[in-house]
């Protein structure tokens, strides 16, 4: 008779914050994988101590409740008690932003919107650096080489609102082409020219258009798409289906575009102007205090687009005077991002983070910090805070020595000529010290904080440490034992080095792992198949002597939804040692940036005196792998 998991399921739903806190629920071979609106509402301590739950893990944006081999039954029961409909989804907006304090919500939203574009964003930033190098070596800005490469790099940043419209549309569940239409209106070339003449109104309401235009901005388009999504959802409910395909977008554009130009955009402009007034007042009080505050907050101002309140003032200052100070404290902050990224590259155990950090590091050196901020340091939280601290210190230093800039020049390394003065040689020296200070502080301060996982854990074998020596099985021949053979060919990895907390801590049982050299899994002993996960990435069996073995191919491979996996057995099949159980595509797993390290676990380890593992560093299928001692 099947066990009743109703009480357990009710407890799980209640202690993850209730049904209303659940955005999505799926499961893999051992755990329930929740996506929650607010993880702080989940009671970790209760769930970890609750009978029927192995542990709780937070990784890869998921709240994972580890159940064990019977997770499919618990999952089905959770669906019923929580009223979840179909395939683990529930009737909520999958675009809901996780809740929590405003900062957490903003970070989660912005990181999610920038995540899909990080590769192209980093590449564009590197091209901007190449263009800066060309200019430094005397290549004319009218040459075909300069113009084309500048368009390739700067075009992405100029039309960032268009790209953000796509990702925001997905987040807010809006029709993507309607969202694109909204972005096209904001960056429409002729509208800036029309508004530049002034005295433009919309049905008698004055239109306040920023001199900087909406190119390269972030928040205006995000807010515009959000408002547009609400209007779209409303009209979808009231417009007849027969005309919905064109009538709904018509009303969305008709209402949202004017709102963007009359309310959303001007609010951002007023906020920018207010920032300019505030910071000018602070500078008049104390240049050191000004540098400290601007250095600390500059990156935050940039994220909200509020820095535009200072840029026009800085341009005007240099037009009226031979030198300026308004933006000095902000110029070298990009090097704090570079220093933090270097530390992250050295310390991270995730290959994907390292791959993204390299081009972001290069971009940061040339003053383009968007890939660094939105792709790595901001989602990691504490490294971003450390760069703000570094920015504050270097800003105070520049204010203390009254460092000035003489032209609105390049960014990053190419900002150095802007600080050269024929009358004050120490001005450049102090700026170079600030660059070094910013870089070193970014690196050193990040050393004091934990480097969190962004993608769930280590993604390659570089994170694996040397295995410890275990006692030979031959010394224990007097005990009842069962030999478990290796189901794969590959390098042997100690369980503690598996890039997954649940397996690494032994929560699922004792065992070992293999870094496979090919894509074939065979039976490690004779017995009966007890589990074949629908996606094919995991198989369980019970040996003739009672050991329950779980073979889990790769980490987070449930996300592949069966791609690259082919099983040859079903639950209930009797198998012989060496019989083929499944095949998998190593390339498909690696292309998805997932670890291929595959644990082989004795899930009922508590029923044995001990589980011993091989001392060999590499095994072939059929070689000795484990010994269970009863």
Catalytic residues: 28
Q: What is the dihedral of CA 27, 30, 31, 32, to 10 degrees?
A: 30
Nearest to 278 by CA among 293, 268, 263: 293
Give CA–CA dist 608/601, Å, rounded. 13
Nearest to 550 by CA among 529, 534, 571: 529
Counting Cβ atoms within 10 Å, is residue 41 exposed (0-12), middle (13-18) or buried (19+)? middle
Give CA–CA dist 584/336, Å, rounded. 43
Which residues face 552 on adjacent strands? Answer: 538
Nearest to 67 by CA among 30, 122, 106, 113: 30
Give CA–CA dist 305/292, Å, rounded. 20
DSSP string spanning 478-541?
Answer: TS-EEEEE-SS-EEEE-GGGSSSHHHHTTTT-EEEEEEESSSEEE-SSSEEEEEE-TTSSEEEE
Let me know: does 459 contact 499? Beta carbons within 8 Å: yes
Cα angle value 92/96/101 (rounded, 5°): 130
Give CA–CA dist 488/517, Å, rounded. 8
Residue 420's φ and ψ, nearest 5 degrees, are -80, 130
Counting Cβ atoms within 10 Å, is residue 251 exposed (0-12), middle (13-18) or buried (19+)? middle
Cα diameter, the chain: 96
Three-state SS for 198?
A: coil
What is the Rg, in whole angstroms, of the alpha carbon atoms belonging to the chain?
A: 29
Among left, alpha and beta (phi > 0; psi -120 to 50; other), residue 537 is alpha
Give CA–CA dist 555/279, Å, rounded. 49
Which residues face 22 on adjacent strands? Answer: 36
Let me know: does 557 contact 551? Beta carbons within 8 Å: no
Give CA–CA dist 432/419, Å, rounded. 9
Which of 179-184's residues contact partners 24+ apart within 8 Å by CB, and which partners?
179/225, 179/228, 179/229, 181/249, 181/253, 182/221, 182/224, 182/225, 182/228, 182/252, 182/253, 182/256, 182/257, 182/260, 183/221, 183/224, 183/225
Give CA–CA dist 191/219, Å, rounded. 19
């Amino acid at each position: 008779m099947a066990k009743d998991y109703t009480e357990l399921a009710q407890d799980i739903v209640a202690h993850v914050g209730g049904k209303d806190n659940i955005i999505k629920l799926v499961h893999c071979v051992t755990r329930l994988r929740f996506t929650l609106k607010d993880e702080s509402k989940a009671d970790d301590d209760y769930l970890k101590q609750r009978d029927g739950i192995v542990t709780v893990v937070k990784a890869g944006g998921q709240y994972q409740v580890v159940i064990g081999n019977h997770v499919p039954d618990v999952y089905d029961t959770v669906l019923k008690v929580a009223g979840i409909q179909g395939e683990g989804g529930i009737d909520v907006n999958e675009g809901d932003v996780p809740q929590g304090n405003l900062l957490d919500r903003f970070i989660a939203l912005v990181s999610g919107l920038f995540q899909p574009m990080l590769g192209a964003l980093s590449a564009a930033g590197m091209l901007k650096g190449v263009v800066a190098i060309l200019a430094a070596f005397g290549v004319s800005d009218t040459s075909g080489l300069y113009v084309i490469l500048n368009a390739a790099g700067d075009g992405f940043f100029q039309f960032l609102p268009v790209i953000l419209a796509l990702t925001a549309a997905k987040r807010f569940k809006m029709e993507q082409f309607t969202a694109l239409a909204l972005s096209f209106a904001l960056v429409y070339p002729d509208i800036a020219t029309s508004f530049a003449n002034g005295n433009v109104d919309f049905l008698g309401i004055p239109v306040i258009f920023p001199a900087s235009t909406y190119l390269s901005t972030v928040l205006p388009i995000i807010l515009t798409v959000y408002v547009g999504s609400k209007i779209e959802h409303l009209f979808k409910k009231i417009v007849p289906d027969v005309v919905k395909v064109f009538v709904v977008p018509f009303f969305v554009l008709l209402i949202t575009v004017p709102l963007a130009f009359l309310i959303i955009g001007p609010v951002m402009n007023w906020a920018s102007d207010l920032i300019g007034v505030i910071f000018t007042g602070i500078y008049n009080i104390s240049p050191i205090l000004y540098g400290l505050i601007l250095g600390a907050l500059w990156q935050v101002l940039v994220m909200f687009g509020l820095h535009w309140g200072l840029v026009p003032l800085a341009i005007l200052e240099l037009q009226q005077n031979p030198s300026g100070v308004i933006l000095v404290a902000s110029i070298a902050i990009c090097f704090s991002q570079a220093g933090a990224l270097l530390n992250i590259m050295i310390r991270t155990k995730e290959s994907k983070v390292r791959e993204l950090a390299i081009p972001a590091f290069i971009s940061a050196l040339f003053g383009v910090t968007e890939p660094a901020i939105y792709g790595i340091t901001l989602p990691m939280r504490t490294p971003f805070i450390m760069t703000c601290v570094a920015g504050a210190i270097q800003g105070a230093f520049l204010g203390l020595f009254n460092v000035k800039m003489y032209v609105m020049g390049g960014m990053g390394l190419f900002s150095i000529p802007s600080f050269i003065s024929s009358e004050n040689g120490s001005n450049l020296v102090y700026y170079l010290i600030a660059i070094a200070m910013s870089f070193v502080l970014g690196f050193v301060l990040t050393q004091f904080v934990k480097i969190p996982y962004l993608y769930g854990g280590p993604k390659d074998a570089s994170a694996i440490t040397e295995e410890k020596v275990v006692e030979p099985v031959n010394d224990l021949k007097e005990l009842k034992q069962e030999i478990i053979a290796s189901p794969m060919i590959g390098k042997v990895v100690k369980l503690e080095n598996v890039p997954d907390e649940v397996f690494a801590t032994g929560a699922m049982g004792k065992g070992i792992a293999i870094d496979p050299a090919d894509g074939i899994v065979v039976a490690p002993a004779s017995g009966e198949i007890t589990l074949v996960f629908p996606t094919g990435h995991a198989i369980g069996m019970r040996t003739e002597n009672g050991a329950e073995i779980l073979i889990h191919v790769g980490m987070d491979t449930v996300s592949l939804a069966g791609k690259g996996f082919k099983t040859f057995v079903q639950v209930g099949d009797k198998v012989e040692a060496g019989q083929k159980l499944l095949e998998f595509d190593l390339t498909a797993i690696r292309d998805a940036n997932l670890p291929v390290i595959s644990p082989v676990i004795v899930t009922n380890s508590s029923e044995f005196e001990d589980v011993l593992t091989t001392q060999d560093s590499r095994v072939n299928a059929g070689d000795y792998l484990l010994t269970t001692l009863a």
